[in-house]
Amino acid sequence: MALITNRPEPVPMPTIGRIVHYVSHGTPGGEYPSQCRAAIVTATDPAPDGVPEPGQVFASLAVITPEGMFFNRFVLQDGNHTAGTWHWPEREGS
């Protein structure tokens, strides 16, 4: 498994077919809050032009919601659960 090593803690690189969490934006009026949604990695993308920091990880995702499915390219990985980003699913206690 490839690791991203230029971070405080090494994390696995996304690979095609892996399940991740996408953080939805929610609606401006709050009718639908921002929340984690299941997503499948469909491609691993090099950083788009203009990305200021090396080590940022992007992936293309197929995001699955109760209302349907949508596709999103160049989604940034962010462990802080910022809207519009992806992160690895949290581990459940054994």
Residue with tokens 């709050």: 30
For the stretch 57-87, pLDDT in tens is 889 999 999 989 999 998 999 989 999 999 9
DSSP designation for 77: B
CA dihedral 4, 82, 79, 19 (to 10 degrees): -80
CA distance linking residue 37 with residue 45, whole number of Å:
20
Largest CA distance in the chain: 42
DSSP 8-class letter at 50: T
pTM of the model: 0.80
What are the tens digits of pLDDT across the range 8-60?
A: 566 688 999 999 999 999 889 988 899 999 999 999 877 666 665 666 788 99
Q: Return the domain boundaries, the chain.
A: 3-87
